[in-house]
Amino acid sequence: MSDSRRGLQLVGCLVLGLCLAVIYAAGFGAYHLWERQYNPQRAVNDSQKQMGAFWEAWRVLEQGYYGELPTEQERTYGAIREALVLLGDPYTIFVEPQPRELERDHMRGSFGGIGVDIWYDAKGQMVLSPYPDSPAAKAGILAGDVLLALDGEQLATETIDDVRAYLHGEQGTTVALTLMRPGPDGSPTPSFDLTITRGEIRVPSVTWRVIAHAPTVGYIHIQGFTDRTDEEVVGALNDLKGQGITSLILDLRDNFGGLISPAVGVASQFLSDGVVMIEQKRTAEESVYPVQAGGIATDIPMVVLVNGNTASAAEIVAGALQDHGRAPLIGERTYGKGSVQLIYDLSDGSSLHVTSAIWLTPNRTRIEGRGLMPDVLAPQADGPRDAQLDYAVEYLLK
């Protein structure tokens, strides 16, 4: 047999073997998919077998490790976090119960509590400052009071987040605070107790005013998007229009986002029709969020201030107003967070934030990892004055 014929036969055998391998792999893959769809118990058993190695490893550690082992909860939370690292997505995260409760309160824009801000002073003491007209203020807490104990338990390793979570609670319930009010020279004084009844604490996400040196220009700053932000913006617009403004600055700087629905509602106050955003899922399925009817500021001249900390829901609003030609963006390129996270609350009060989609501007511009480029670049200069705000006022007056 010639070498050429032997070569042809060898190639033929290789091709046949490869085809058989592909057919086998395809059949095995199809069978595996069929198993998952029509025999879910088999899929569960396979998953349990894979987790078997995890528990074997922990049994070895429990029997032979010299040091102190983490608790079962710490072990579970650690395993979840490390599994999420494999996704390579900084926005798919696990949140423990206490931070989740604080996050939930922030998104609601109101919560049951006593209404205090908390920080550490130079001595490492936990210092309080009451919100105006809050239960804490009405009970007699003053700015600078030092917190020593909660319900008779001295503070030891508790963090500020721990204390915030403890002070939050159902309206009408009470909490006892042990405080020390430093003397005029900062020296310690005898401690005293205050029992405070928790009430509803509203944290506004919107502030507004008329620009003092330009009384025809209104200014609205949105700190974040909560359940109540769109209602607060309507209130701000009505108040400013009542004061006779003829143009508006919408400040979205240092706004890291929040809830999508209020963001769509805010954008709709300034747009007559069209699309606010487009949501695109992994399957390429799309959802279009149209402008909601009834906007009360659809024709007032306006500009939008943005910077590198303008992100997520704030970029939704900025991108919609820019694409519709409704308002120029002034400032710096935005952060570039254009993904959507669904929040799944777990049985122990913790939660899983899962990236489920990305969003596009009305012109189908993808924001994730890119951000929005402002129409007018205006870096923030050092100094006591807000250079970007000054530029926005000048832009409107011209």
**How many angstroms separate the CA atoms of 304 and 148, rounded?**
44
Instruction: Single out the residue of 328, 338, 315, 335 nearest to residue 374, CA to CA.
Output: 328
Tens of pLDDT along 324-340?
A: 999 999 999 999 999 98
Establish whether 337 is a catalytic residue: yes
By mean pLDDT, which of 81-85, 104-108, 218-222, 324-328 is the weakest? 104-108
Establish whether 323 is a catalytic residue: yes
* 206-397: in CATH 3.40.50.150: no
Residues in contact with 230: Cβ distance below 8 Å, sequence separation at least 6, in sequence order: 261, 262, 265, 266, 269
Tens of pLDDT along 119-129?
A: 888 788 899 98
* Average pLDDT along the chain: 85
pLDDT at position 172 over 90:
yes
Catalytic one of 268, 337, 339, 351: 337
Residues in contact with 194: Cβ distance below 8 Å, sequence separation at least 6, in sequence order: 139, 140, 141, 176, 177, 179
For 225, which DSSP code?
B
Tens of pLDDT along 281-337?
A: 877 789 999 999 999 999 999 999 999 999 999 999 999 999 999 999 999 999 999
Chain region(s) in the chain for CATH 2.30.42.10:
114-202
pLDDT at position 246 over 90:
yes
Chain region(s) in the chain for CATH 3.90.226.10:
206-397
> Is the pTM value of this prediction over 0.85?
no
Q: CA quadruple 195, 199, 205, 210: dihedral positive or negative?
A: negative
Catalytic one of 247, 312, 350, 351: 312
Establish whether 312 is a catalytic residue: yes
For 366, which DSSP code?
B
Domain 114-202: homologous superfamily in CATH: PDZ domain (2.30.42.10)
Q: Are 181 and 146 in contact (CB under 8 A)?
A: yes
Which two three-digit tokens encode residue 398? 């011209």
Angstrom CA distances, 95 to 69, 78, 312, 346, 353, stand at 22, 11, 19, 10, 8
The CB-side HSE value for 165 (13 A sphere, CA atoms) comes to 15
Q: Are 252 and 225 in contact (CB under 8 A)?
A: no
pLDDT category at 159 given cuts 50, 70, 90 is confident
Tens of pLDDT along 354-364?
A: 999 999 999 99
Catalytic one of 323, 339, 350, 351: 323
- Backbone angles phi and psi of 285, in degrees to 5: -70, 140
pLDDT category at 156 given cuts 50, 70, 90 is confident
Tens of pLDDT along 29-59?
A: 333 433 444 455 555 566 667 778 878 888 8
